[in-house]
Amino acid sequence: MGVKTKLTKKDITPFIKVNKLKKTKNGVSDTVYILDDKYVLKLFERSTKQDIQEEQRLLQLCKDLKVPKLIKKPIKIKNKYALIYKKEDGKSLTKVKRKHIKQIGIFLKEFHTKTKNHNTKNKNIFSKKYLKKLIIKTNNVKLLKTFNKITIIPKENSIIHGDLFRDNVLFKYNKLSSVIDFSEVSKGDAYFDLAVVGIDWCINDKDLKTLLKSYNSKITLKKFKAYMKYALLYYATTRYLDNRNYNELLKRIEKI
């Protein structure tokens, strides 16, 4: 979350009555405002109308899970599409404990099970083929060498969130209250979602085992770490393309 496009009450009142707009500070992709501390307005900077409709459809499918509740159909502000959600209570974690890891593992199992037999029109941006295209685009030798060492080929066995870093999960009183930001959702490998949790939430093998057990997975730790390397490379590549620090993630691959 953050603000890339400045909005005023005048921009928003044709769609919803609002007295106070609060800018958000975190995030790199889209514009997000808090409205009267009751709603969240997300203005999509790059997504198409189809992308927005896919997110709307997914949230409706998963309405009984802890996901954002939409209060408006897609709207258009300053020639960009936007969605308005009910604001969920809770904050992102700064310190992760195993009880938090267990809860996100349980959520992911529910989410992947719920979406397993459903499809999406969104492109699979997490496939190995797509990742190779991104790396070729970077013309970065280190990224390409690392890619050539990757042994796994992610499957397409579920609809995945794709961006399950801690800032996209809210907790209240140590209870998971909502998983947010489904703008990158696509068909992909369920283990990619788990791998993102692994690289951002877990600091040792005990944490990883807690995650896999809560998901009820039988995957070996060795194979799961191969997925973690893939996720690290993916985000190192996207960071490079966004002119952000990528070396930290690249170095972590060698340590797993």
Residue-wise pLDDT tens digits, 88-137: 999 999 999 999 999 999 999 999 999 988 888 888 999 999 999 999 99
Instruction: With respect to residue 4, please indicate whether it lies within any of the assigned structural domains.
Output: no
Same domain, 74 and 195: no
Same domain, 217 and 128: yes
Same domain, 113 and 141: yes
* The domain boundary residue, chosen from 45, 61, 86: 86
- Of 80, 7, 1, 79, which Cα lies nearest the Cα of 44? 80
Instruction: Provide the domain limits for residue 82.
Output: 9-86
The Cβ-side half-sphere exposure at 232, using a 13 Å CA radius, reads 21
Same domain, 115 and 165: yes
Confidence check: pLDDT of 1 > 80: no
Instruction: With respect to residue 160, please indicate whether it lies within any of the assigned structural domains.
Output: yes
Among 28-37, 59-68, 126-135, 152-161, name the one with the lowest average pLDDT: 28-37
CB atoms within 10 A of CB 31: 23
The CATH number for 70's domain is: 3.30.200.20
Same domain, 133 and 166: yes
* The domain boundary residue, chosen from 31, 59, 86: 86
Q: State the pLDDT at residue 144.
A: 97
Q: State the pLDDT at residue 73.
A: 85
Q: Report the number of distinct structural domains present in the chain.
A: 2
**In contact, 54 and 121? CB cutoff 8 Å:** yes
Same domain, 237 and 111: yes
Instruction: Output the CA–CA distances (angstroms, integers) from residue 130 to 126, 155, 215, in the order listed.
Output: 7, 13, 27
Angle between the 141-149 and 247-255 helix axes, to the nearest 10 degrees? 30
* The domain boundary residue, chosen from 37, 59, 86: 86
Among 46-50, 152-156, 221-225, 243-247, name the one with the lowest average pLDDT: 46-50
Q: State the pLDDT at residue 23.
A: 87
Same domain, 26 and 116: no
Same domain, 102 and 82: no
High-pLDDT (> 70) share of the chain, %: 98
Complete DSSP assignment for 21-42: EEE----SSSEEEEETTTEEEE
Same domain, 132 and 33: no
What does the mean pLDDT of the chain come to?
A: 93
186-215 per-position pLDDT tens digit? 999 999 999 999 999 999 999 999 999 999
Among 3-7, 218-222, 233-237, name the one with the lowest average pLDDT: 3-7
Instruction: With respect to residue 92, please indicate whether it lies within any of the assigned structural domains.
Output: no
Same domain, 246 and 119: yes
Q: State the pLDDT at residue 119.
A: 87
Same domain, 72 and 116: no
Q: How far apart are CA 178 and CA 169, in angstroms?
A: 6
Q: State the pLDDT at residue 27.
A: 55
Confidence check: pLDDT of 28 > 80: no
Q: How confident is the model at residue 26 (pLDDT cuts 50, 70, 90)?
A: low
Rounded to an integer, the average pLDDT of 143-153 is: 95
40-65 per-position pLDDT tens digit? 999 998 888 888 888 889 999 999 99
